[in-house]
Structure 1
Amino acid sequence: MKRHRLHRRVNGTALDLARMINPVVRGWMAYYGAFYRHALYPLLHRINSYLMRWSMNKYKRLSNWMKATQAMRDAVVRQPRYFAHWAWAKPAVR
């Protein structure tokens, strides 16, 4: 995920990001999740960190971690299947 530089794609929307990463993440979840699920959790939480950084760069009102975390939690409540990895790894509480 690091090479995708998600946090730098501020010209796109969250839907664009979801369309880009969901097939990849679903594949990882299907392949590695069958036998080695616990190894995926750090990666899935890292994707959440990239998404929070993206939201902080895109929306200036989310300029600190607390506001960005709250916005991410609200997004998960509104649309729990928007990003594929949210089924397994909810955004961290900070």
Structure 2
Amino acid sequence: MRQHVRSWRIHRRTSATLDEPAQQCNTTIQGWWNYYGAFYRVAMHSLFGYIDLWLMRWARRKYRRLRQRKRRSAEWLRKMKFAHLRLFVHWRIVGVSVG
């Protein structure tokens, strides 16, 4: 699954808004949650954290003020989760913690 997440190349789509990767990823993430979530919740939560890491990498590439600041990009992602909780499927499932 991680290899599939890597193949999305989220971090390379800096011209896109946050909505576009969400639309691309949500159906796949929801399908994985429906299939694996019943028995492998811990593994799914680690995958959700992995997706969040790629989103933080995307933010660091898109926004110049976050370039060399991993902690700031994590804080930016946490703010996005509060503001747009329903944007990504895994944000609704896990909540607002940043992995």
> Normalization by structure 1: what TM-score?
0.90
Matched, 1:45 2:49: yes
Match of 2:70 in 1: 65
Identical columns (%) = 35
- Give the RMSD, CA atoms, in angstroms: 1.1
Amino acid at match of 1:91: V
CA distance in 1, matches of 2:49, 2:71: 16
The residue type equivalent to 1:32 in the other structure is: Y
TM-score normalized with structure 2 length: 0.86
Structure 2 counterpart SS, 1:48? helix
Cα offsets for 1:67-86 (capped at 9, x unmatched): 11111111111111111111
The residue number in structure 1 matching 2:85 is 80
Stretches (4+) displaced over 3 A: none
- 1:15 and 2:22 matched: no
- Aligned residues, how many? 92
**Runs of at least 5 residues in structure 1 that lack an aligned partner in the other structure:** none
Gaps of 5+ in 2: none
